[in-house]
Structure 1
Amino acid sequence: MPIQVQELECREGTIGQITLDAPGSLNALSGSMIDDIQTTLDQWAGASHICMVIFRGAGDRAFCAGGDIRELYGALSGMEDNAVAANYFAHEYRVDYTIHRYPKPVITIAHGAVMGGGMGILSASRYRVITPDIKMAMPEISIGLFPDVAASWFLNRLPGRLGLFMGLTGARLNATDALRVGLADMAILPEQIDSLIARLQDERWTGESAADDNRLFRLIKQLEHPDYRALPASELARHEQSIARLSAGDELPAIVENLLAADVDSDWWKACMDNLRGGCPVTAWLVWTQLKKAQQMSLKDIFRMELAMAIRCTQRPDLREGIRARLIEKDNSPQWSFKTVADVPESVVEEHFLPELDDSNDPMNLD
C-alpha cells in the first residue's frame, strides 16, 4: 500500500496518522496514493474518535518530492485526450482543498525534500512542522508545468515578490528560509518527532475542535526548539534585497532579463538562474499571470483556476517534453514551444485560464 494509515490511541481520543510510504520515489504522490489519502480523510472527518490528523513521510530523504511525474508522463503518452492526466490533477487538488478546510487539526511533520505536491500538503496544514534538513521548492518551470497545489495562494502571501521569484527560478529554500517567510511554523530535530507524538498520545483529546486546538497549539509551542543559530544560514536574508530590486516592474520579459543579467556571486543564485534560463517560457508567463489573477480570488476559485491551467498544460507539448528531457531521457535539453519569454503570444497564456470553472462545471466538486 503506498500510504500507511494508523490510528494512534491517546489517553482519550485517537490520532489519525497518514505516512506517505514510497521512499524509493521520494514519496512522490501517485494517483493511488492521492485517492487513498482522500478516502482516509473523508472517513476520519466524520469519525468522532479521531481528534487530529498527522502527515509524515517514510524514509530519510523526503517528506514528498512532488507528484509522480513518471506516472503522469505515462498518462500523457498513452491517452490522446489526456483524461487520465487531467483526472490526476483534479484528485490531487481535491485532497489539498480537503486539508485546507479540514474540520480537525492537521499537523504535517516534514523532512528532507518538500516540493510540488509535498508543498501542497504542508501549506494546507494547520500546523507546519519541519526538520533542519528541509529543502523546499516549487520547481515546475523546469518541466513545463506551473506552481500548482494552491501555490497561487501561498506564494502570493510571501513578502515582496519572493513568490514570483520562487515560481520563476524554482529556488530551493532551507529551514531558516522557510521559517523566515512563514512557509513553516516551527522546526524540531528528527529525534524529537517520536517524543512529540508520544506526548500527544499522553493527552486527553475530547474531539471538541476549539478546545483541542488551543491545547495542541500550547503543547507544540512548549517543545524544545533547536538552536536557530545552528540552522543553515538563510539564503533569502542574503539575497532578498536583490530579489526585490530585480523582480520589480510591470513587464515580465524585462524582469527575466534583469534577473539573468545580474552580477550576484552565489552558488544558490546561480542555481536559481540556471533553472530560469533553462525553464519553460510559457511557464514563466503562467506564474506571472496566476499570481496576479489570484490576488482577489477565494481558495476554492484558486483551485479551480489551477485545474483549468493544469488541464491545458496536459494538452500542450511543453509538459510532456519537459518530463522527457528532465526525468525520462535525462538529456536536460527540452525543446520548448517558444524559445524566450518575449516570444510567447498573449493568446497562448490566456487559453490556460479557460474555461472558468464554477459550481456548475467543477470536476473536483469542491464544497
Structure 2
Amino acid sequence: MTDQAILFTTNENGVATITLNRPKTINALTYDMLVPMKQKIQEWEQDQAIQMVILKGAGSKGFCAGGDMKALYKARQDSEILQEAEQFFAIEYQTDELVAQFSKPIVACLDGIVMGGGIGLSYGASHRIITERTKWAMPEMNIGFFPDVGAAYYLNKAPGYIGRYLALTATVLHAADVLYISGADAFIPSDRLTDLLHQIETTNWHTTNTGKQLQELLDAYTEQPKTDGTLASLQADIDRYFSFNSVEEIIDALTKDTSDFAVKTRETILSKSPVSLKVTLAQLIKGEGETLKACLETDRILAHHFMRNEDFFEGVRSVLVDKDHQPQYRYKQLADVSEELVSSFFKAY
C-alpha cells in the first residue's frame, strides 16, 4: 500500500477499483481525495473498457468514517480554510451524485465502520455489501452539524419515521438493521469478501451480461445476518414518537413514556446541539419526496451556514479536538432556537 490517499486500478477484465487509502483515519475523506475520484468516475462512465467499479477502503477498521471534520475545524479562524471547506462539501456532494447516476455496476464494500460521508459516497452504488463488522451511522448530530450527503433523501426512504430517529439520535446500526432500512443490498461475511472480490476481478466482464452475472455471483455469497436487528420491533414506538413536526413535540411524546427505550432516546436527543436538532428535523421534513439532487443542493446551503455557526465548531472541539465531550453551546435549550434562526439556515446565499 502506498502513501497515496486514494488508489485507482483497472484490469483487462473491465474491473476498475477505487480504494480509499487513509486507514489511520478510517479513510476519512478529504478534498484531495474527492477531486481525482470525481474525475475518475466521470472518465470511467465514458470508457467502454470499464464494465464495473469496486469501491472499498484500506485497512481493517472500516470503509470510511466520513469527511475529515477535524481538519475543517481550522476554518473557524481562517477565511481561506473556510473557503476550502466549502469547496470540500461542494465536490463531495457532486461525487455522491455521480456515484448514484453511474450507469454501470458499482460494488461498494461496507465492511467495518461506514459513517457520514462514507454513507453518502456509497449509498447510490448499485450493489452495497455489508458484513457482520459493519457499523453504519450518520453521527453528525454528535458534533453540532447535520446529516448531510443526501441524508434527507435516503433516510426518508427508511420505513415509517425511522429516518428521523436515526438522524436525531445518531444511532449506530449493524447489519440486520441496515438491511431493514434499505441501506445495503446484501450481507456477506467479512471472511468471504476477499474471495468474492477475487472472483469479480478475474471474471471477463466484456463477454457476459454484466448485471445478470454479477447478481448471480453476489447471490452465491449472500447470507442472512446471524444477529437480529432491533428496528423492526421498535417500528411502532418510533413512528409514534417521531411523527411530530417539531423537536419539542417529539421530546414531549418521549417524556410521557417511561419505557427504557423512550427514556434513553429522550436523553440522547437532549444531549445534542439544539440548533442541529431543529435544523435537521426541518431538513428531513423538507426532503420528503425530493430528489437526491435537490437534497444535496439543500445540504450545500446548510453546510455553508453551519460553517458560520459557532455551535458547530464547539461540537467539533468537544468531540474531535479536545475530546472532553462537554460542549458549551451558545444555544443551550430548544427554546433558545427560534423558527427565524432555523429558517435562516435554508436561505440561499
Query: What's the TM-score, normalizing by structure 1?
Result: 0.88
What CA deviation, in whole Å up to 9, does each residue of 1:158-200 have, x standing for no partner?
A: 1111000011100111101011221111111112112212222
Where does structure 2 lack aligned partners over 5 or more consecutive residues?
none
Q: 1:170 aligns to what? A: 170
Q: Relative to structure 2, which stretch is displaced further, 51-60 or 292-301?
A: 292-301
Which deviates more, 159-168 or 334-343?
334-343
Q: Which runs of 4 or more aligned residues in structure 1 lie more than 6 Å from their structure 2 counterparts after TM superposition? A: none
Q: 1:33 to 1:269 in 2, by over 3 A?
A: farther
- Is the CA contact (8 Å cut-off) linking 2:16 and 2:53 kept in structure 1? yes
Output the CA distance in 1 between the equivalents of 2:44 and 2:21: 19
Q: Which residue of 2 aligns with 1:249?
A: 244
- Counting only pairs closer than 5 Å after superposition, residues 17-56 of structure 1 correspond to structure 2 as 17-56=17-56
- CA deviations on 1:279-306 (whole Å, 9 max, x unpaired) are 1111111221111111242222211111
Deviation, structure 1 residue 80:
6.9
* Alpha-carbon distance between aligned partners in 1 of 2:153 and 2:244, rounded to the nearest angstrom: 21
The CA distance in 1 between the partners of 2:35 and 2:267, in whole Å, is: 35
Deviation (angstroms), 1:257: 3.5
Identity of aligned residues (%): 31
1:141–1:276 Cα contact (<8 Å) kept: no
Closer/same/farther in 2, CA of residues 33 and 186 from structure 1, 3 Å limit: same
Does 1:320 find its partner at 2:316? Answer: no
Q: Secondary structure of 1:100's partner?
A: helix
Give the CA deviation at 1:244.
Answer: 1.6
1:227 Cα deviation from its structure 2 partner: 4.5
Which of 223, 228, 235 is the matching residue for 1:226? 223
Task: Answer yes or no: is the 8 Å Cα contact 2:143–2:312 preserved in 1.
Answer: yes
Q: Secondary structure at the match of 1:104?
A: coil
CA contact (8 A) 2:56 2:63 kept: yes
> CA shift at 1:74, angstroms?
2.0
Corresponding residue for residue 271 of structure 2? 278
Instruction: Tell me the C-alpha RMSD between the 2 structures.
Output: 2.1
Alignment-mate amino acid for residue 155 of structure 1:
L
Question: How far did 1:222 drift?
Answer: 2.6
Q: 1:261 to 1:116 in 2, by over 3 A?
A: farther
1:91-129 CA-to-partner distances (Å, cap 9, x unmatched) read 110110110111221110111111100111221111111
Q: In the alignment, is residue 311 of structure 1 matched against residue 307 of structure 2? A: no
Comparing 344-353 with 213-222, greater Cα deviation is found at 213-222
Q: Secondary structure at the match of 1:84?
A: helix
CA 1:65–1:275 in 2, change beyond 3 Å: closer, same or farther?
Answer: farther
**Letter aligned with residue 187 of structure 2:** A
CA shift, 1:251, in A, is: 3.2
2:92 aligned partner: 92
Following the alignment from structure 2 to structure 1, what is the Cα–Cα distance between the partners of residues 256 and 72? Answer: 35
* In 2, Cα distance between equivalents of 1:32 and 1:134: 26
What is the aligned partner in structure 2 of residue 7 from structure 1? Answer: 10
State how far apart, in whole Å, the 2-side matches of 1:244 and 1:313 are. Answer: 29
- Residue ranges of structure 1 left out of the alignment (5+ in a row): 357-367
Q: Which amino acid letter does the alignment assign opposite residue 247 of structure 1?
A: F
Q: 1:274 to 1:29 in 2, by over 3 A?
A: farther
Aligned partner of residue 330 in structure 2, secondary structure: coil
